[in-house]
Amino acid sequence: MSVTEAVETRTRTVIWEDPMIGAEAALSLSGLDYLRAIADGDVPPPPVATLLGMEIAHVDRGRAVFALEPGEHLYNPIGSVHGGMLTTLLDSALGCAVHSTLEAGVAYTTVDLSVTFLRPVTRETGRLICEADVIHTGRKIATARAQIVDGDGRLYATATTTCIILSR
């Protein structure tokens, strides 16, 4: 039997809402209020979160907790979740932790991101939790750290970021 004959086709359908609804809401709400509105379902999540299956599990000032159920649709060619997916999860939680400290009309963007992978993730790993906490928010620069753990507290990856604060 050839590899082509053994392939089982899978599908994934993704439905999302207009991303500009959230982008416009972000202009008039503090970062914390905006993120809470997404978590509560009052503002649609960004399409990337819907596409990848990330969700805000909890947010407070200076802290964002994201969750992800890893599936084979996130696999790389060697049969584990792609490191870029874990990096996206870390970057998202880190950025939102920073965003939660900002006033309405103030934006940010990642300047630097350092990620360390500690063990592979597969669909058997189960639900992942990414916890991000701000280390410092200044007028121009913010820093934060994050980690990804499973339900048993096993550590899968860590990251730190530096973000630049932008006035609109």
**CATH number, position 134:** 3.10.129.10
Within-domain flag for 154: yes
Within-domain flag for 106: yes
Which residues partner with 155 through β-bridges?
149
pLDDT at position 168? 60
Lowest average pLDDT, out of 4-13, 72-81, 85-94, 127-136, goes to 4-13
**Number of other residues whose CB lies within 10 A of the CB of residue 71:** 14
E strand spans, 12-154: 54-60, 63-68, 106-117, 128-137, 141-149
- Residue 140: CB partners within 8 Å, gap ≥ 6? 164, 165
**Structure tokens of 133?**
């906490």
Within-domain flag for 3: no
Within-domain flag for 138: yes
Within-domain flag for 4: no
Q: State the total domains in the chain.
A: 1
Q: What is the pTM of this model?
A: 0.94
Within-domain flag for 2: no
Within-domain flag for 140: yes
- Structure confidence by residue, pLDDT tens digits, 86-119: 999 999 999 999 999 999 999 999 999 999 999 9
Q: Of 92, 80, 71, which Cα lies nearest the Cα of 146?
A: 92
- Structure confidence by residue, pLDDT tens digits, 9-59: 999 999 999 999 999 999 999 999 999 999 999 999 999 999 999 999 999
| CB 64 within 8 Å of CB 34 | no
Q: Determine the structural domain holding residue 148 and report its residue range.
A: 9-167
**Structure tokens of 10?**
């899978």
